[in-house]
Amino acid sequence: MNAYDLAGKRAIVTGGAGGFGVGVARALLAGGAVVELWDLSQDRLEAARAELGPDRVSARVVDITAEEQVEAAVAAFAAAGRIDALVNNAGVLGEVKPLWETSPDDFRRVLEVNLVGSYLVARAVVGRMLRQQPRPLRGHVVNMSSIQGKEGMPLAGAYAASKAALLALTKTLAKETAREKIVVTAVTPAAAETAMAKLISSERRAEIEARIPAGRFVEVDEVARLVAWLCSDDCSFSTGGVFDISGGRATY
Ligand SMILES: NC(=O)c1ccc[n+]([C@@H]2O[C@H](COP(=O)([O-])OP(=O)(O)OC[C@H]3O[C@@H](n4cnc5c(N)ncnc54)[C@H](O)[C@@H]3O)[C@@H](O)[C@H]2O)c1
């Protein structure tokens, strides 16, 4: 299979030790990019690096909700070269409960990681992208949202709300940077077989699968190939775009 041409590009993937993170990193590497994985645990990052093969892969412990850690990590990555692509992929599911039974602490935590964390990383990265020369673009930002952000989802109020807010953030940042040759997009996958899917009961899994007209979960590689295209210079005029990958579940 042909890979998108990402030769010479330098990318950051947050949540890089997780299911989509490793898959996205693999697709970016196949296109020739250099990739830095950010995640919470050194051990899991090292395991991801070993799985991907350490050539062109670096890893760093970064909690995306900690502003100083994000600033230091972006500064260190930028000191070694350009930042061509950011994949804002780190995220948490939170409690699987009806809204009235969820705890305010959990609700805040989900928003803090999925929305505020993504904002902190985008803020630090785009600030630097703006100072780079266009080649022909200054850079790409891809935000990992979810079909649940478009539709809402019973028992996942905080998660769905955080992913909807990420879509609004995507469109806002796209409008702010469109003339600066930065392309900002989001993807809205249906459920995939990652660690996140293992947090739910078998009944809930069956219920989620039944919502997908294609009758199956999305493969990590299917999402990763879409993200690789969104990080490539072939994706030049789709800024603000929300790319559906839900097996027909999305109604818009
Ligand atoms: N799996 C699905 O069904 C599905 C569907 C649609 C969207 N998504 C989204 O895809 C993204 C990746 O999820 P995944 O399915 O690979 O799950 P995952 O749990 O395998 O990966 C998520 C990663 O994010 C990391 N992370 C969490 N909080 C962090 C923080 N504060 N700082 C840095 N890293 C942090 C975790 O350690 C983990 O490695 C998430 O944003 C998720 O919401 C997942």
**Which whole number is the average pLDDT over 219-239?**
98
Please provide the average confidence, as pLDDT, over all residues in the chain: 97
For the chain, the structural domain boundaries read 10-242
Q: Which residues pair with 14 in a beta bridge?
A: 38
Whole-number pLDDT of residue 145? 98
In this prediction, residue 196 carries a pLDDT of 85
| DSSP symbol at 100 | G
For the residues of 192-212, what is the DSSP string, one character each? BSSGGGGGS-HHHHHHHHHT-
Cβ of 23 less than 6 Å from ligand 1: no
Q: How far apart are CA 53 and CA 120, in angstroms?
A: 29
Residue nearest to atom 42 of ligand 1 (CA): 91
- Are 85 and 35 in contact by the 8 Å Cβ rule? The answer is no
pLDDT in tens, 155-173: 999 999 999 999 999 999 9
**Domain spanning 10-242: CATH superfamily:** NAD(P)-binding Rossmann-like Domain (3.40.50.720)
Q: What is the pLDDT of residue 195?
A: 86
Residue tagged 């999402």 (tokens):
223
For residue 195, report the distance from its CA to the centre of ligand 1, in Å: 8
Regarding the beta carbon of 194 and ligand 1, being less than 6 Å apart is answered yes
Supply the residue whose CA is at minimum distance from atom 18 of ligand 1. 18
**Catalytic site includes residue 252:** no
Local confidence band at 198 (pLDDT 50, 70, 90 cut-offs): confident
Which pLDDT does position 2 carry in this prediction? Answer: 73
pLDDT at residue 176, rounded to an integer: 98
- At 54, the pLDDT band (50, 70, 90 cuts) reads confident
Cα dihedral across residues 235, 237, 240, 246: positive or negative: negative
